[in-house]
Amino acid sequence: MAEAVDYKYIGTRPVRPDGVDKVTGRAQYGADPILPGMIHGRILRSPHAHAMIKSVNLSRALELPGVHAALSGADFPGGIGDEAIGGESGGTMSDLAKNVMARDKVVYHGQAVAAVAAQTPQLALQALKLIEVEYEVLPVVLDVRAAMQESAPLLDPTCITKGVKPEPEKPSNVVSVTTFNRGDVDEGFEQADLVLEREYIVPMAHQGYIEPHGCVAQANEGGAATVWCSTQGHFEFRAATSKLLGMNMADLKFIATEIGGGFGGKTVVYLEPVALLLSQKSGKPVKMQMSREEVFRATGPTSGTYGTAKIGVKKDGTITAAKIWMAFEAGGFAGAPTGPAAMAVFSPYTIENFKVETLDVLVNKPKVAAYRAPGAPQSMHAFESILDEAADELGIDPIDIRLTNAASEGTTAPYGPKFPTIGFVECLEAAKNHPSYKAPVPEGAGRGLAAGFWFNVGMQSSAEVHVAENGTVTVVEGSPDIGGSRASMCLMAAETLGVEYESIRAVVGDTQSTGFSNVTGGSRTTFATGMAVVQACEDIITQCKSRAAATWGVDDDQVEWEDGHCVPKPGVNAEVKPLSLADMAAAAAKTGGPISGRASLNAQGAGASFSVNFTDVAVDPDTGHVEVLNFTAIQDAGKAIHPAYVEGQMQGGAAQGIGWALNEEYIFNDDGVMQNAGFLDYRIPVASDLPMIDCEIVEVPNPSHPYGVRGVGETPIIAPLAAIGNAVAHATGVRINELPLSPPRIVAALDAAHKA
Amino acid sequence: MRYEAPTTTKEAANLLAKAKGKAFVLAGGTDLLVRMKAGMLEPDLVVDIKRIPATRKVTKTASGFTIGASVSGAELGENKAVKKAWPGVVEATELIGSDQVQGRCTMVGNLCNASPAADSVPAMIAAGAKAAIVGPKGKRSVAVEKIVTGPGKTSLKKGEMIESISLPKGGAKIGDAYLRFIPRTEMDIAVCSAAVCLELGAKNVIKKATVVLGAVAPTAVTVPAAAKAIIGTKLDDDALDALAAACEAACNPIDDKRGTIEFRTEVAAVLARRAAKIAFERAGGK
């Protein structure tokens, strides 16, 4: 474990540079830009969950005065290949194209079928009513188990399951099977003193970002275009849009506006190619903005799952074998997060014998997109629940059973590599020593605990750092700021350069003004973009040392950088005054011109982040209402650059996980029409539903990052699902393995247990 | 769409009576404007009644209280006299929507929206509230339970609008209470609800009672059998069991995204039991 380091700026909690504009309403989000001559685009959506499109007739819509353009799938270029979308999202480019605008078929209710652009939003809505679409309605399959039956209607009649040997001869709705194995599970179960096997169901859930998707696109007659959009990755939006429209990428400028939440859901394009094509057709700038209803019906939720889990445990708590089988709803197109779900599920533990199988299954629901630690909440809900039940049966404390099996440095991860320094044991010990864990469970309540894990990724980032003539600093990065990352970049630059936080500001550059950066996702930004910022600052320091050496008439290696100043090495020309960054900037004209540093990298060594959450809940046995009395989130951040934003991630993830555990779910009727496409009946928690989420940041530095950073954004959503479930089980004495733990489900389960 | 903001109730009634096409009354707008925005309604005429002085005030009368049709939930909540006499009615009205919605929403709007899940309606019925209706043929007073005839439907005739709600005086031996069940803690719609109003006689024995359930049938349901079960008792466990059984028997709910038939039936009875206890205490019962 690395030594604790005292930093001057890192670990402090300054005000974020984008804060004032956000709380005063000045900040510009995706739908805020207003351009001269701008018109408004709207999308016509499929009223059927599964149908062939026989024809689309736009002519009556185009005849309506004030309508400037209309389009359908036929207006997009064909020949989109099957290459992967990439980033955090599953699926292929050709599926993405159909998800943006249907071609010959619709596979979920609400899929885009046509679009118009008109003088006003109201006129655009009127025009939609004039579009004539002829459908041939097909049977619908919604349940993941029903979709795997041989008799199920096929969403894609050419789909042959991948990952199964021998390759199946017949098509099915199962796109692929992912398998990870170690040892011999049957032998492992034989060695166990206790074997449990259970079914687990988790519902489809939405990211619930408060800002609906929005963008403004402006094309010119020469083929160039500018797009303002709310995105987690404007470079990837540019690439996808250029591919879907067959446009020259060099002609496209994508500007990331402020973003009102994404959680993975804003890593894929929906509106941008449509708005741009409408702009090309009309010759006018086009604004598009989804309603909340459209967000629910047609943008990426995460998969609902059905699975089974089996565990074998010795009396001392040692896990001898574990098995998970889980089917994931992909929605209408392939791409459920089955890979990470399978890789993550056993990662916190050393298990000699395991088998995990996850399936990507097509159903007539919206195409899933990334959602915070994609796949892990579902698979880990199953294992963290069955492990808890095993601990109950054996009379072992839930922390102790996890400590007995905990992965640590050198443990071979289920997905292959050996873990470098990790902080799972430290998180478990922090939980054990936490005053809330030592406190007795409140009268009548139940306590639940669960762990979480996420790999985190590095990927590509760029940063430039410019020193102004007075020594103040601008950091330019290509990562949209969702969770306060500009403040974190400024803190890392301040620490590296040894200048005050207040003299540094960070901006997110557009695709034509800074180097390529992957999406803000995978919990990568503070780690990877932070690494690029640190390296760009080091580039500046190298240049400054060289300029100081020239000024002082010494060799470059005779100058050192200390606390924001160039100083001569001990014994070298001690007469000279140290030169600050401001001194260097003031003299820049005489020493080689403006001082700028840059770095572009593919960051390696993203450290995994583990968590432990525990909570006390009270259940009203007569109404099934669950009150979360307290909730403690403990997580290894490696090093918290800006602790307030680390806590923000932990609290936000906990809120989303608690909501998913208790009330959030997609409810469809038999025709595949979502019944609760709004925040009234898709119940994310409101402030009064939650206690203050208590956070404890554990810091086991990541050796691969200059300041020890581990990504923190995704891990927090995982543990709450099982922690809440385990707490409800302890409060009521009844285990309910299907989420959400909604009041009707709890009352029904308690009634059934009472009768039994 | 035509927008009118008359200053007398008579003028408003005339506008509504003469309207061609779809005409709607606008008070707080927390239902009407939301529906217009969602494209569910396209009115030809909107009559804003907020400039009619008679709808703007809460008045203490010889027989009780008169609450104007455009008095907001927040305004009612600040009226100490009404709150003291009818805490259940005021609490029910204050449960509508969020803090922001409370600044606009009204009891009469809640009533005329005619949702089976309206929070203020069961409490008004239990308290014996009456609606003052103004129409082309003059004024009439109708018991609140006669207003809603089904989901989204009222007994108001063309040209008629409700000017105010009147509540009886209340009294030291009268207590009312309203409870609803929602999965969240606020900003939600009742999955089921119950209002109880009762009056105690000598030795704290229940003399009169009204029990009303919400969101378990097309309209709020008054349950005389539940009232009968507790009249003549001091709300002992047997009486409460009988009240709960009568409530379950009176439920005729739907299965939907908000709750199952079984859940609504079971929980409506639980709420009636709990509301009865609160009302009993408020009436001075022990």
Domain holding A722: CATH number?
3.30.365.10
Contact present, A288 and A214 (Cβ < 8 Å)? yes
At A321, give phi and psi (nearest 5°). -160, 155
Q: Are residues A517 and A473 in the same domain?
A: yes
Chain A residue closest in CA terms to B193: A623
Angle, CA of A452, A453 and A455, to the nearest 5°:
160
Please answer yes or no on whether A747 and B183 come within 8 Å at the CB atom: no
Contact present, A244 and A270 (Cβ < 8 Å)? no
Q: Report how far apart, in Å, the C-alpha atoms of A169 and of each of A162, A164, A165 are.
A: 11, 11, 11
In this structure, the number of other CB atoms found within 10 A of the CB of residue A599 comes to 20
Strand partners, A252: A225
Contact present, A711 and A636 (Cβ < 8 Å)? no
Instruction: Tell me which residue of A449, A399, A418, A411 sits closest to A728, measured CA to CA.
Output: A449
The reply to whether B181 touches chain A by the CB within 8 Å rule is: yes
Which of A622, A626, A724 has the highest number of chain B CBs within 10 A, making it the mutation to test binding with B? A622
For residue B184, list chain A residues with Cβ-Cβ distance below 8 A. 663, 683, 685-686, 688-689
Nearest to A686 among B181, B186, B191 (CB): B186
Angstrom distance (rounded) from CA A202 to CA A745: 13
Instruction: Give the closest-approach CA distance of B184 to chain A in angstroms.
Output: 6
* Paired tokens of A373: 């630690």
The reply to whether A683 touches chain B by the CB within 8 Å rule is: yes
Q: Are residues A443 and A465 in the same domain?
A: no
Angle, CA of A261, A263 and A269, to the nearest 5°:
85
pLDDT at B58 over 50: yes
Q: Are residues A408 and A364 in the same domain?
A: yes
The reply to whether B189 touches chain A by the CB within 8 Å rule is: yes
| A177 within a domain of the structure (yes/no) | no
Query: CA torsion sign, A158 to A163 to A164 to A165?
Result: positive
Please answer yes or no on whether A743 and B267 come within 8 Å at the CB atom: yes
pLDDT at A756 over 90: no
Length of chain A: 756
Angstrom distance (rounded) from CA A530 to CA A518: 13
- Chain A window 17-36: which residues touch B at a Cβ cutoff of 8 Å? none
Q: Are residues A613 and A596 in the same domain?
A: no
Instruction: Go through A668-680 and write b for each residue having 16 or more CB atoms within 10 A of its CB, e for each that does not.
Output: beeebbbebbeee
CATH class for domain B174-282?
alpha beta
Q: Are residues A293 and A309 in the same domain?
A: no
At A128, give phi and psi (nearest 5°). -60, -35
Which DSSP category does A412 fall into? B
| A307 within a domain of the structure (yes/no) | yes
Counting residues of chain B whose pLDDT is more than 90, the rounded percentage is 98
Please answer yes or no on whether A622 and B262 come within 8 Å at the CB atom: no
| A518 within a domain of the structure (yes/no) | yes
Domain ranges of chain B: 2-49+57-168, 174-282
Domain of A249, in residue numbers: 31-138+211-260+266-298
Instruction: Tell me which residue of A78, A76, A96, A77 sits closest to A86, measured CA to CA.
Output: A96
Query: CA torsion sign, A166 to A167 to A171 to A173?
Result: positive
Q: Are residues A528 and A562 in the same domain?
A: yes
Q: Are residues A335 and A396 in the same domain?
A: yes
Q: Are residues A285 and A325 in the same domain?
A: no
Largest CA distance in chain B: 60
Model confidence pLDDT, tens digit, residues A623-653: 999 999 999 999 999 999 999 999 999 999 9
Angstrom distance (rounded) from CA A412 to CA A415: 8
* Paired tokens of A704: 């691969």
Phi and psi based region of residue A187 (left: phi greater than 0; alpha: psi -120 to 50; beta: remaining): alpha
Largest CA distance in chain A: 91
| A170 within a domain of the structure (yes/no) | no
State the DSSP H helix or E strand holding residue A97, giving kind and residue range, or none if neither. helix A93-100
Please answer yes or no on whether A680 and B189 come within 8 Å at the CB atom: yes
Nearest to B185 among A623, A624, A686 (CB): A686
- Going along A436-588, which residue ranges are E strands? 446-454, 459-467, 473-477, 504-508, 559-562, 565-568, 579-580
Q: Are residues A632 and A693 in the same domain?
A: yes
Please answer yes or no on whether A742 and B183 come within 8 Å at the CB atom: yes
Number of H helices, E strands in chain B: 11, 14
Model confidence pLDDT, tens digit, residues B62-109: 999 999 999 999 999 999 999 999 999 999 999 999 999 999 999 999
Instruction: Go through B164-179 and write b for each residue having 16 or more CB atoms within 10 A of its CB, e for each that does not.
Output: bbbbbebeebbbbbbb
Angle, CA of A547, A550 and A551, to the nearest 5°:
85
Residue A165's contacts (CB-CB under 8 Å, 6 or more residues apart) are none
Angstrom distance (rounded) from CA A698 to CA A403: 16
Angstrom distance (rounded) from CA B256 to CA A667: 9
For residue B262, list chain A residues with Cβ-Cβ distance below 8 A. 744, 747-748, 751
For residue B257, list chain A residues with Cβ-Cβ distance below 8 A. 667, 675-676, 681
Q: ipTM of this complex > 0.85?
A: yes
Model confidence pLDDT, tens digit, residues B131-179: 999 998 899 999 999 999 999 999 999 999 999 999 999 999 999 999 9
A416 burial via Cβ count (<10 Å: 0-12, 13-18, 19+): exposed
The reply to whether A125 touches chain B by the CB within 8 Å rule is: yes
Model confidence pLDDT, tens digit, residues A293-310: 999 999 999 999 999 999
The reply to whether A744 touches chain B by the CB within 8 Å rule is: yes
The reply to whether A670 touches chain B by the CB within 8 Å rule is: no
Section A731-747 average pLDDT: 98
Please answer yes or no on whether B257 and A680 come within 8 Å at the CB atom: no
For residue B256, list chain A residues with Cβ-Cβ distance below 8 A. 675
Confidence of residue A80 (pLDDT cuts 50, 70, 90): confident
Instruction: Give the closest-approach CA distance of B252 to chain A in angstroms.
Output: 17
Chain B residue closest in CA terms to A740: B183
Write the CATH number for A229: 3.90.1170.50
DSSP-based three-state secondary structure for A63: helix
CATH class for domain B2-49+57-168?
alpha beta
The reply to whether B255 touches chain A by the CB within 8 Å rule is: no
β B138-143/A286-289 pair status: unpaired
Angle, CA of B239, B240 and B246, to the nearest 5°:
90
Please answer yes or no on whether A688 and B186 come within 8 Å at the CB atom: yes
Which of A45, A623, A680, A746 has the highest number of chain B CBs within 10 A, making it the mutation to test binding with B? A623
pLDDT at A467 over 80: yes
Please answer yes or no on whether A685 and B256 come within 8 Å at the CB atom: no
The reply to whether B260 touches chain A by the CB within 8 Å rule is: yes
Instruction: Give the closest-approach CA distance of A514 to chain B in angstroms.
Output: 41
Contact present, A18 and A258 (Cβ < 8 Å)? yes
- Residue A512: the pLDDT is 96
Angstrom distance (rounded) from CA A237 to CA A270: 10
Contact present, A64 and A123 (Cβ < 8 Å)? yes
pTM for this entry: 0.96
The reply to whether B35 touches chain A by the CB within 8 Å rule is: no
Domain count, chain A: 3
* Paired tokens of A396: 């072992």
| A582 within a domain of the structure (yes/no) | yes
Angstrom distance (rounded) from CA A736 to CA A730: 11
- Residue A572: the pLDDT is 83
Dihedral angle, C-alpha A6, A9, A15, A21, nearest 10 °: -140
Please answer yes or no on whether B184 and A689 come within 8 Å at the CB atom: yes
Instruction: Go through A611-635 and write b for each residue having 16 or more CB atoms within 10 A of its CB, e for each that does not.
Output: bbbbbbbbbebbbbbbebbbbbbbb
State the residue for tokens 């009249």.
B231
Q: Are residues A495 and A596 in the same domain?
A: yes
Counting residues of chain B whose pLDDT is more than 70, the rounded percentage is 100
Angstrom distance (rounded) from CA A721 to CA A732: 17
State the residue for tokens 């209280």.
B65
Section A31-58 average pLDDT: 98
Query: Among A578, A603, A628, where does a domain finish?
Result: A603
Counting residues of chain A whose pLDDT is more than 90, the rounded percentage is 96
Nearest to A744 among B39, B263, B270 (CB): B263
Model confidence pLDDT, tens digit, residues B164-217: 999 999 999 999 999 999 999 999 999 999 999 999 999 999 999 999 999 999
| A365 within a domain of the structure (yes/no) | yes
Contact present, A434 and A696 (Cβ < 8 Å)? yes
Angstrom distance (rounded) from CA A482 to CA A498: 26
Q: In this predicted structure, which of A90-99, A654-663, B209-218 has the lowest mean pLDDT?
A: A90-99
Q: Are residues A98 and A221 in the same domain?
A: yes
Please answer yes or no on whether B267 and A675 come within 8 Å at the CB atom: no
Contact present, B126 and B194 (Cβ < 8 Å)? no
Q: Are residues A611 and A717 in the same domain?
A: yes
Please answer yes or no on whether B39 and A623 come within 8 Å at the CB atom: no
Confidence of residue A82 (pLDDT cuts 50, 70, 90): confident
Residue B53's contacts (CB-CB under 8 Å, 6 or more residues apart) are B7
Angstrom distance (rounded) from CA A240 to CA B78: 56
| A8 within a domain of the structure (yes/no) | no
Residue A503's contacts (CB-CB under 8 Å, 6 or more residues apart) are A471, A472, A473, A494
The reply to whether B277 touches chain A by the CB within 8 Å rule is: no
Model confidence pLDDT, tens digit, residues A154-184: 999 999 999 999 999 999 999 999 999 999 9
Nearest to B257 among A623, A681, A686 (CB): A681
In this structure, the number of other CB atoms found within 10 A of the CB of residue A265 comes to 25
Query: Among A247, A276, A298, where does a domain finish?
Result: A298
Q: Report how far apart, in Å, the C-alpha atoms of B225 and of each of A345, A693, B208, B237 are.
A: 55, 46, 12, 16
Q: Report how far apart, in Å, the C-alpha atoms of B74 and of each of A439, B28, B250 are.
A: 40, 12, 33
| A245 within a domain of the structure (yes/no) | yes
